[in-house]
Structure 1
């Protein structure tokens, strides 16, 4: 029941709440990013979603379109994961879920083995099991192990745990600004 209906209801409730509570960030940041990036405040990219169908993922832009990194504001947006807030819209649209395997680049699709392709049997998420268990410190195989564990054990309790640990990680990161350890559960404009 949760997998077929409850998860979507939870996604809609959390994404709508997330967008509403994010409005102050958008009101402040969008004009700044609009000026800084000359009218292009959003980063958009094609990613594979449920059943490997392609969709457009949204983020706040943190680097120039030619790949040059942005110092200061861009780094802060990435470190705090504020650049990921537009993905609440992806969740409302039904392209993503709050929790699921992070969507990778389409170029990686041919590299998956048969079992790894199971990660596309659920919607990709804003956060996931790999993100709360090491994120960028994990190898490709370890990330897929967490993704497959999630797909095979998807439940309300597992989603609740991942959401709680993601929120705790974000709060911890904000309390330890200046730490060399990146506890943010998201990776900004990078592939995952």
Structure 2
């Protein structure tokens, strides 16, 4: 019981789920997927260990919901960069790539949960929808450069896969700390310009 005699998990409707998601993100940042438990999230949120069952069947269910939050932020980061780019298909595609890297480098725990963990359930309707939306941005961006309305042929899909692989690779290697050349004078001074240069090197391959 808490002060005033109220049960410590007596949240207003909807508040418990949000409190658990906030706690889960902090747990993920501090302990990673390997150390993530539902009990620890409940303790961090200040509720009983049984309280999360009102919203999540288990730890993987909570991580699935957290991954959906991640994809929503991921899409927002890409959209923000795309919207700030000049009204040119190539520039807007570069903007998407920079937004991709922005998210990865600012939200590494979520990024790894979304792309390097088997615990989120991608058959979950909410997660599936937001993940599909983020991929749709990339497909639209590549198609705009190609001058096509939809990826209706093998070449188009290969262009999408190439663009995705390239920018994801940059983001992943940057997070690993192995991109040591980024610390060299002239590159470390403007990482954004360096990331842009890397992205531009693949674009001529998209016809």
Is this a same-fold pair by TM over 0.5? no
**Higher RCO (CA < 8 A, seq sep 6+):** 1
TM-score by length of 2: 0.25
- Higher fraction of strand: 1
TM-score by length of 1: 0.27
